[in-house]
């Protein structure tokens, strides 16, 4: 039997890099969370060129510092989990804005031995194309997925985001985390696949909300999708679940919503945005 929800201890793990414009607001928002038992807030600071470390020191905030060549989205998180004794670990990124004081409670309250991973709803900040990707990937209704949903959902069964997520620490360790791999992107999908194929469930928690949005240049979009293409090349077992079809469905949805909202200025951006994603993914999948 799992512990009573109110007794669960939680460690929050947050990598930092040039985070001075986010840190104070983020830290204060965490401290304001209600109905949760936070054991530790683990900040891992990659050596930065701004005043992040000064802010940490002047506010007596505990942190661990690492060199740039030591950073990896997967390994930094994995090591922090292996050093934790909490019941639940919560991954966040430095650039999220926490919506309210029940964000963490709503994210973690259903974690048990069956639903072992949960992730938050991400709300857009900018009126751009990413607004529609957020809308599709993070709807207003919560849901739970398991291995039984693969036939219906395909690759989307393994959708997960560690921008704001919670995981049963015992299961994370049992599944060997990210298998000590140095993953530059999509470490969340890598682990979600292991969760689902291990017979566990993932919950999307629509009532646990964060604001998380970007204004990427076309070059930044291309670079991100090139890395994603690298990920799918190295983990090509995911192709059987419809990697190409998933991207096409998203492109169709975005175009439909742009037209419905009469955001005609976005129509000029749309083909270039989609092309940057498509070419980046193709190059990433096929480069040596």
E strands, 161-284, in order: 164-168, 201-211
Same domain, 224 and 192: no
Q: What is the spatial distance between Cα 153 and Cα 147, in angstroms, rounded to a whole number?
A: 10
User: Which pLDDT score, from 0 to 100, does residue 246 have?
Assistant: 81
Q: Which residues pair with 167 in a beta bridge?
A: 89, 117
Residue 88: pLDDT band by 50, 70, 90 thresholds? Answer: very high
Same domain, 205 and 229: no
Pairing type for strands 201-211 and 115-123 reads parallel
Given a cut of 80, whether residue 262 has pLDDT beyond it is yes
Over range 251-264, report the average pLDDT.
Answer: 96
User: Which pLDDT score, from 0 to 100, does residue 177 have?
Assistant: 98
Given a cut of 70, whether residue 1 has pLDDT beyond it is no
The predicted-structure confidence for 96-113, as pLDDT tens digits, reads as follows 999 999 999 999 999 999
Domain that holds residue 133: 5-211
What is the chain's mean pLDDT, rounded? 95
First to last CA, the chain: 48
Same domain, 157 and 78: yes
- Of the chain, the percentage scoring pLDDT greater than 70 comes to 98
Q: Domain boundary at 211, 240, 275, which?
A: 211
Q: What is the spatial distance between Cα 70 and Cα 161, in angstroms, rounded to a whole number?
A: 22
Q: How many domains does the chain have?
A: 2
pTM tops 0.85: yes
Same domain, 40 and 131: yes
User: Which pLDDT score, from 0 to 100, does residue 247 have?
Assistant: 86
Same domain, 50 and 189: yes
Over range 276-284, report the average pLDDT.
Answer: 96
Q: What is the spatial distance between Cα 122 and Cα 210, in angstroms, rounded to a whole number?
A: 5
Same domain, 167 and 43: yes
Residue 4: pLDDT band by 50, 70, 90 thresholds? Answer: very low
């Amino acid at each position: 039997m799992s512990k009573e929800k109110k007794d669960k201890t939680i460690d929050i793990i947050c990598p930092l890099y040039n985070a001075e414009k986010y840190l104070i607001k983020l830290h204060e928002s965490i401290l304001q969370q209600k109905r949760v038992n936070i054991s530790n807030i683990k900040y891992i600071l990659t050596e930065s060129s701004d005043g992040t470390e000064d802010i940490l020191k002047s506010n007596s905030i505990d942190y661990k510092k690492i060199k740039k060549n030591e950073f990896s989205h997967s390994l930094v998180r994995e090591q922090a989990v292996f050093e934790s004794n909490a019941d639940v670990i919560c991954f966040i990124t430095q650039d999220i804005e926490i919506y309210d004081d029940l964000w963490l409670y709503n994210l973690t309250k259903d974690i048990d031995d069956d639903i072992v991973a949960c992730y938050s709803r991400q709300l857009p900040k900018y009126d751009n194309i990413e607004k529609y990707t957020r809308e599709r990937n993070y709807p207003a209704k919560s849901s739970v997925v398991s291995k039984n949903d693969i036939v219906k959902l395909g690759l989307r069964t393994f959708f997960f985001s560690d921008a704001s997520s919670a995981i049963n620490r015992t299961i994370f360790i049992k599944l060997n985390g990210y298998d000590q791999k140095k993953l530059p992107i999509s470490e969340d999908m890598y682990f979600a696949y292991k969760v689902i194929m291990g017979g566990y469930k993932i919950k999307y928690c629509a009532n646990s909300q964060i604001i998380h949005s970007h204004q990427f240049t076309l070059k930044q979009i291309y670079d991100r999708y090139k890395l994603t293409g690298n990920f799918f090349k190295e983990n090509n077992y995911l192709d059987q679940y419809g990697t190409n079809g998933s991207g096409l469905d998203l492109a169709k949805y975005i175009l439909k919503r742009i037209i419905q909202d009469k955001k005609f200025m976005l129509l000029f951006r749309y083909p270039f945005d989609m092309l940057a994603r498509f070419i980046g993914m193709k190059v990433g999948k096929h480069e040596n």
